[in-house]
Amino acid sequence: MNVSIVVPLFNEVESLPELCGWIDSVLSANKLSYEVILVDDGSRDGSWEQIESLKLTNPHIRGVRFRRNYGKSAALHTGFSMAEGEVVITMDADLQDSPEEIPEMRRMILEEGYDVVSGWKKKRYDPFLRKKVPTKLFNWAARRVSGIRLHDFNCGLKAYRLNVVKSVEVYGDMHRYIPVLAKGNGFNHIGEKVVQHQERKYGVTKFGMSRFLNGFLDLMTVSFLTRFGKKPMHLFGAMGSMMFLVGLGMAIYMGIDKLIALINHIPQRLIADSAFFYIGLASMIMGTLLFIGGFLGELVSRNSAERNRYEVEKEI
C-alpha cells in the first residue's frame, strides 16, 4: 500500500464526507493505493455514524471509536498502530489541511530520502492575537530547545516513513513533537514543505489558549526524555554536584575568613549572621537533593523494561 492517512477527529460530522471525497479524488487521480484511518476521539455529534455510512461506499476507509475523549495524541498513537502504508500522512478533519499536498509529500519521503516531512502553513487564516502570535512564540521556543529548524510544529499535516511512526510512542500532548521524538530515535532527515491552509468551513476549533501553556510544558518533557531519559544522573547529578560544590566553597571561605579573624583578634560578627551562610547551606541541601533525585532516576531506569531497547536500522 502506498499511503496510510491517519485522521484524528472530534465532533467533525459535517466535514467528513467532503474530506473523504477530496482524499479519494486526489489519490485516485495520482493512481495511489491508500487507506484512510478515521479515529473518532469520543465524538458526540454523530461523527461515528457518519464514518459507518461512508464505509459502505468507500472500501478504503477504516474507523476506530474511543469510548470517551482522550486527546489527539491518543488518536494518533492508535492510528499509527493500524497503519500499513509505506508512507503515513497525518491530517486534521476540519478541512483546513489540503489533501492536494499528499502526493508531493509522499514523493519527498520516497525520492528525497526524508524520514519526516512537516507542513508549514506559511499563510494562516487564524485570529491574529488568539492563535498567530502564540503560535509564532511557541514555534520559536520549540526550534531553540529541540534544534530542529521547523517553522510550524503545530501543523497537523505531516508525512512519515512507516518505520518512523512504528518506533515513536505518542502520549499526553506529545503529538506536536513527533519530529523531536523521531530525531531522538535516530531519524535525523527531517524536512519541511509549505502547504496551503484553508479557512475552517464547519464547526468551531477544539483548542483553546491552554494548549500553548501545555505545549511549553510538554516541550520541556520531550527535551528531557530524548536527552536524558536513559541517563538522568547525567543531568541531576551534574547539577547537584555543581550546587553542592558552590555551597561548600562558600562555607570553606567563610570558615577560613572567620579563623583568620580569630587568630588576629579582629572583631567579626557570627557566621550565622551572614546571608552567605544561608545561601551556601541552601546550595548544599539543594545539590544533595538533586544528586539523590538523579540516583533514584538511575535506579528506576535500570529496572525499566525499555532500558536496553534500541532502534536497529539494518541487520545482515
User: Are 80 and 88 spatial neighbours (Cβ–Cβ below 8 Å)?
Assistant: yes
- The pTM score is 0.73
Dihedral (Cα; 106, 107, 113, 117), 10-degree rounding: -50
Beta bridge partners of 89: 5, 159
**Sequential pLDDT tens for the chain (316 residues):** 899 999 999 999 999 999 999 999 999 999 999 999 999 999 998 899 999 999 999 999 999 999 999 888 899 999 999 999 999 999 999 888 899 999 999 999 999 999 999 998 887 665 555 566 677 777 887 888 778 888 888 888 999 999 999 988 887 778 888 888 888 888 989 999 998 877 777 766 655 556 666 667 777 777 777 777 677 888 888 899 999 999 999 989 888 888 888 888 888 778 778 888 889 899 999 999 999 988 888 787 777 666 555 555 566 6
Q: Which residue, 225, 86, 62, 74, is CA-closest to 163?
A: 86
> What topology is assigned to 3-228 in CATH?
Spore Coat Polysaccharide Biosynthesis Protein SpsA; Chain A (3.90.550)
What are the boundaries of each domain within the chain? 3-228, 233-302
CA–CA separation, 52 and 61 (whole Å): 9
CA angle 234, 240, 241 (to 5 degrees): 85
Q: How far is CA 250 from the centre of its chain?
A: 41
CA–CA separation, 2 and 271 (whole Å): 74
Tell me which residue has cell 458526540.
Answer: 44
For residue 136, the model assigns a pLDDT of: 77
CA–CA separation, 88 and 165 (whole Å): 8
User: Are 153 and 139 spatial neighbours (Cβ–Cβ below 8 Å)?
Assistant: yes
CA–CA separation, 138 and 152 (whole Å): 9
